Amino acid sequence: MIKAVIFDWAGTTVDFGSRAPMGAFVKLFEQNGISISIDEARIPMGMNKWDHIEALLQMPQIQDQWKTLHHKLPAKADIDRLLEEFVPMNKLALIENSDMIPGVVQVVQQLEFDGIQIGSTTGYVRELMDVLIPIAAKNGYRPEICVCSGETEKGRPSPQMMKRCAEFFNIRDPEKIIKVDDTLPGIEEGKNFGSWTVGVALSGNALGFSLDELNQLPEEKQSLLKQQARQKILEMNPDFVIDSVADLLPIIKKINQMMASNLHPNAIG
């Protein structure tokens, strides 16, 4: 039986469309004389933010702009400085994009009623989560643990943050834990720990639209975008794909049935 669910934050439980980090990354690079698109900013999503900045700087079209400006490749000190600039920008974006994703609070309440423990991991540093956690708590979402970027030796897709959660809950069997995430590094974090993984297609990074933006689109366009987002998550090879956390409860029931039949994570055809 499942004993705990570990959720990601942006795009999974809060901030429909995972909007907060994207605008901050675009603004960060713009202020440093470099043009990047929202789509480019999304590619490394799920990594800790230092690694995210490094990954962006390794993209040829971005690195070329950097070399034109600075006549050298970006160094570790450059990434450190960019991260220092990024954090206050992201704080403001967090406050503006802190709404709970519909259905999350109700699902978590049911899980807690069923005796399932709730944890979380995130690519955000603690300074940012110190802003977001109290807002989420006021809105009814209070995971028992939040492991932040930089609090383990390695970040995602390493399983170290998952391990920290499991130790907190005193759960020794990774297969009794589900990781729910909307990004490849977050899903791989769960897979590398040996847990069940559930990918979120509609509310997160794969689609990237706010709920208002999505609802304003014609139904035919919505359907196409949802199909494309679902395909992106399927390619990450989680055990299950759902539109949002609102759809999680039947999946947990199915996983419990599979475990009773001696089936294991990552073994679904």
| Domain coordinates in residue numbering, the chain | 4-17+99-260, 20-96
Task: Calculate the average pLDDT of the chain.
Answer: 95
pLDDT in tens, 144-173: 999 999 999 999 999 999 999 999 999 999
Q: What is the pLDDT of residue 163?
A: 98
Task: List active site positions.
Answer: 8, 49
Q: What is the pLDDT of residue 22?
A: 85
Tell me which of 268 and 22 has the higher pLDDT. 22
Closest CA to 178 of 170, 168, 189: 189
Please report which helix (H) or strand (E) contains residue 162, including its range: helix 160-169
Residues flagged as binding site for Mg(2+): 8, 10, 182
pTM summary value: 0.89
Reading phi first (left if > 0) and then psi (alpha if -120 to 50, else beta), residue 46 is in left
Structural domain 4-17+99-260, CATH architecture: 3-Layer(aba) Sandwich (3.40)
Closest CA to 3 of 112, 107, 159: 112
Structure-token pair, residue 176: 């009794």
Name the fold adopted by 20-96: DNA polymerase; domain 1 (1.10.150)
pLDDT class for 180, splitting at 50, 70, 90?
very high
